[in-house]
Amino acid sequence: MRLLILGCGDIGTRVGRALTDVGWTVAGARRAPEKLPELFTRLEIDMTQAETYSALGECQPDYVLVTPTPQSFDAIGYRSGFFQAAQHLGAQRWLKRCRRVVWVSSTRVYREAAGGWVDEHSALHTQEAQAVSMVSAEACVRRSATASIIRPAGVYGNPEGMLVRNVLSGRGSAPGSPFGNRIHRDDLSKLIVHCLLRDSEGDWVPPTIVASDGDATPTYDIERWLAKQWGVSLVEDASSGRIRANRRCRSRLFKKLGFELTYPTWREGYAQVVSAHQSLN
């Protein structure tokens, strides 16, 4: 099988490595292709520029994985990074020959903001501009190809990530912070691989998957747990992070897919982060 990964960063690279291990041919496309593994066919693309897509058809991909990112964190950046990128991809004639597109979106598309649970069938956001751009991108991809949209919660697992940096610098959230949702980057990449392999074997893959571990512990509690591991005292800092939506995310499909999380809660996941951080220092 041939896989083309657009916007091939950390998650895409993990997926590509796993699939080359089982005999797939992988092409990765990004603005800086020299950062990709040599075992990939390395291609240059600016996903906001339509003219850079046409040559990708020469890869003759059976599958396309897209991991888009906002160009900036304002409404314009999300529209460019998500919706316009989806439009450019959808306009490619070679896309029709692909068996499936896997598009990585976000649980930010959900409307819920009062602490309730959301899953694959929950109402979507129609007010916030950034969420609307992501919802519009999903719809565009679905119109253009057979697609599975994966909506991850907050992706963590980088031993040098923002939350870790904040804790190590002594900054923390205020008590009573909203529910948080997350998935370890190892589990997100394994879920994508799992879905691609299932589809290649003719097994069912759903059109939408929430990628979350289902443990919606507030960030405040996780920060205090990490601080204890490192013997750090935290001071409340209102500027330590952006305001987060108050929702609890879960997938009802993991069991049906035969997929199991390596890190079913943040406790196992952040224990791995602590260990990885210590090995770097």
**Is the pLDDT assigned to residue 240 strictly greater than 80?**
no
Cα angle 281, 188, 50; round to 5:
105
Section 86-94 average pLDDT: 97
Note the pLDDT of residue 55.
87
H or E segment at 66? Answer: strand 63-66
Buried residues in 86-107 as b, exposed as e (16+ CB within 10 A): bebbbebebbeebebbbbbbbb
Note the pLDDT of residue 256.
96
Section 72-96 average pLDDT: 96
Query: What residue ranges do the domains of the chain occupy?
Result: 2-159+182-217+246-267
- Cβ proximity of 7 and 81 under 8 Å: no
What does the alpha-carbon distance between residue 24 and residue 201 come to, in Å, rounded to a whole number? 13
Share of the chain above pLDDT 70, in %: 98
Section 240-255 average pLDDT: 79
Predicted confidence band of residue 239 (pLDDT cuts 50, 70, 90): low
Alpha-carbon Rg for the chain, nearest whole angstrom, is: 19
What does the alpha-carbon distance between residue 68 and residue 118 come to, in Å, rounded to a whole number? 23
CATH 3.90.76.10 fits 2-159+182-217+246-267, yes or no: no
